[in-house]
Amino acid sequence: MSRLPGPSRLGDGAASKNKPDNTAFTQQRLPAWQPFLSAGYVLPTFFLLGLIFIAIGLGLYFTSNSVIEIELDYTGNNPNSSCHQCTKNGTKNCKCKLYFKVDKALSGPVFMYYELSNFYQNNRKYGVSRDDDQLNGDSDYLKKPSEYCDPFHKDQQNKPIAPCGAIANSLFNDSFVVYKVNSSGTSKVSLNGKGISWWTDYNVKFNNPKSDNGTDLKQAFEGTVKPINWPRPAYELDTNPANNGFINEDFIVWMRAAALPTFRKLYRRIDGGLQPGNYSVEINYNYPVLSFNGKKRITFSTISWMGGRNPFLGIAYLVCGSACIVTGIVMFAVYIKYQGRHVFKED
């Protein structure tokens, strides 16, 4: 009887083929290091990390506190507020004034924000109610807005809305003019509205549709209608062609939805800063907020190397550093109490 070759003979070729290379990495011969976590190493590490975190936290906290902010509430729900009258006439074509004082010179740039409270831009249905292809100037989607924009994608005559969606329809439309009040009268403070949006939004995500001649923006929007709550169509948002239509920077800033129900959005930049003295803000009060118990504020803020005022990061470092110090003290007390003590258990 003939003998069949054994399994080892049949598998020699396959085993040789699948055998890893004879290197230190593939054969797991790399040198290894396993730390020995003794008290002499762990305790100094905890104290050192704690001191580093506390030092960073103090630096961030005091830097944040060095940012000067001036907040002005102009909701108008207080009867003593000058804007209270604007809450009674449907917030249409109403103007009011707020006065504030600058005690210390605020070096430029000073950023001017508007703030809304109890406004949930993070609601999912609200957040997806937009058509990014339409906002990018795609002519195929300009007159065929996405179904996500429903019910703000077409009007009652079935004409497409541009821009469509709930975010665009609720565009913030209050406007502000700042004056410096002198003994001889008032002088307007220059507000710069250029460069207030993200570079990627202005240069990549938002573009105006193209017209036949390439310059007539009104012709480009022909066949569409304005959002329901807008007083004018998109091609008349500004007289400046470089800040009109979908590339209007106030519109672009609004379209970047906020993550929290209380949020600020950049309105203007005061490049020359604010000198000490008395100032006034003339407000075109158009945006209703009392129906959803919201609030409106204007904020003037300086910046530091870490941005605007935000004490959270500094406090977080201080808490972590303190936790490391406390943990180190507890571990050191346990080490002192039990060092040198050996407990033997007899079988």
CB of 337 within 8 A of CB of 56?
no
The pLDDT value recorded for residue 346 is 47
Identify the CA nearest to 273 among candidates 106, 154, 39. Answer: 106
Read off the pLDDT of residues 180-213 as tens digits, 9 standing for 90 and up.
Answer: 998 888 999 999 999 999 999 999 999 999 877 7
The pLDDT value recorded for residue 11 is 54
CB of 166 within 8 A of CB of 126?
yes
> What is the secondary structure of 272-295 as a DSSP string?
T-B-SEEEEEEEEE----GGGT-E
Tokens coding 45: 């590490």
Question: What is the H or E stretch that residue 333 is in?
Answer: helix 312-338
pTM score, whole prediction: 0.81
Distance of CA 332 to the CA centre of its chain: 43
Residue type, 276: P
Read off the pLDDT of residues 58-112 as tens digits, 9 standing for 90 and up.
Answer: 999 999 999 999 999 999 888 888 898 888 766 577 899 999 999 999 998 999 9
DSSP tag of 28: T
Cα–Cα distance between 39 and 225 in angstroms, integer?
A: 73
Residues in the chain, pLDDT under 50: 1, 342-347
If phi > 0 it is left, if psi is from -120 to 50 it is alpha, else beta; for residue 286 that is: alpha
If phi > 0 it is left, if psi is from -120 to 50 it is alpha, else beta; for residue 90 that is: left
